[in-house]
Amino acid sequence: MRFKSLGIAVIAALVLVSLAPAAFGQDDVTVTFNGGGSTTWAGGPDGDVYAGIYNGTVSGLPGANPGIVCDDYKDNIVAGEVWTATALDAASLNTTNIDQTLFGSTIGLDGYAEVATLVSDMFSGKSSYTQAELSSAIWYITGGGLVTFSSLDANAQALVNTLKAEYGSLSATGAEAVLAQYANLWILTPSPEGPGEAQEMWVSAAEGGAALAYLLLAGFCCGGAMFFRRRHQSLMRPVA
């Protein structure tokens, strides 16, 4: 029975190790876009576009909730499209990995801190701003001129100005501190990325998802180390 129990423990360890990349902040996932919701925004150069939380799912990320948010106005997707993305925990963003995101080289850590704040408000459902205002503010921040400030309504303009005043001149350390609040948000950067590829999305992960996988893995490793230490000590005891 001891060998059987140990075998089960090893299998459990392998399962937890398979979950560990997401727990440590990054993993490859599959994104499925099933269509937009009931919210649209008409202020951009393309007329009415879906805004707010899209109908989509993410597989390969423990604890991921249904619903995805687009931060990418320059690329297009269609209902039923499926693609591979690199999932990066917003709380793990730093100067080393920011360029792995779609807009990191242009908006930097402070820009992603602004977007994370807007995405969090969107997922919370408690914002005083509409979903269209939140989406348009996000697209203005990441759009690189595609979405103009004048195309935003007054509320979205005020929202952008507030964020820029609060986060626009943050140091890298300050931006990382803001992003550290959003461990439940994951950035889904398409792989490959570029013209003709899918959009960058955000998803929320339920409490106890990837974080729980990490804690379980850490607990197993500690427990395993104690087991083998005791076993080693028993084998080293002199025989009377």
Q: Which two structure tokens, joined as six digits, stand for 129?
A: 């701003």
d(CA 179, CA 107): 14
Asked whether residue 113 is domain-assigned, the answer is: yes
Domain encompassing residue 177: 26-213
Residue 129 and residue 41 in contact, taking contact as beta carbons nearer than 8 Å: no
pLDDT at 58 over 90: yes
Burial 58-88 (b: 16+ CB within 10 A, else e): bebbbbbbebbbbbbbbbebeeeeebebbbb
Instruction: Provide the 3-class DSSP secondary structure of residue 206.
Output: coil
d(CA 71, CA 53): 11
Asked whether residue 178 is domain-assigned, the answer is: yes
Asked whether residue 133 is domain-assigned, the answer is: yes
- Give the relative orientation of helices 172-179 and 104-124 as an angle to the nearest 10 degrees: 30
Residue 72 and residue 142 in contact, taking contact as beta carbons nearer than 8 Å: yes
d(CA 137, CA 107): 14
Question: What is the predicted pLDDT for the residue at 90?
Answer: 98
Asked whether residue 21 is domain-assigned, the answer is: no
HSE-CB for 140 with a 13 A CA cutoff: 24
User: What is the average pLDDT score of the chain?
Assistant: 83
Asked whether residue 2 is domain-assigned, the answer is: no
**Predicted confidence band of residue 37 (pLDDT cuts 50, 70, 90):** confident
pLDDT at 66 over 70: yes
Question: What is the predicted pLDDT for the residue at 235?
Answer: 37
Residues 63-90, mean pLDDT to the nearest whole number: 97
Asked whether residue 227 is domain-assigned, the answer is: no
- The predicted-structure confidence for 200-223, as pLDDT tens digits, reads as follows 999 999 854 444 444 334 444 344
Residue 188 and residue 40 in contact, taking contact as beta carbons nearer than 8 Å: no
**Which ranges of 39-130 does DSSP label H, i.e. alpha helix?**
104-124
Q: What percent of the chain has pLDDT over 70?
A: 75
How many structural domains is the chain composed of? 1
Which one is predicted more confidently, 16 or 66?
Answer: 66
Asked whether residue 11 is domain-assigned, the answer is: no
Q: What percent of the chain has pLDDT over 90?
A: 70
Least confident interval from 82-86, 94-98, 118-122, 205-209: 205-209
d(CA 97, CA 109): 10
Question: What is the predicted pLDDT for the residue at 26?
Answer: 62
Asked whether residue 32 is domain-assigned, the answer is: yes
Q: Does pTM top 0.85 for this prediction? A: no
3-state helix, strand, coil in the chain (%, to 5): 45, 20, 35
Residues 163-178, mean pLDDT to the nearest whole number: 95
Question: What is the predicted pLDDT for the residue at 229?
Answer: 45
Question: What is the predicted pLDDT for the residue at 207?
Answer: 59
d(CA 31, CA 33): 7
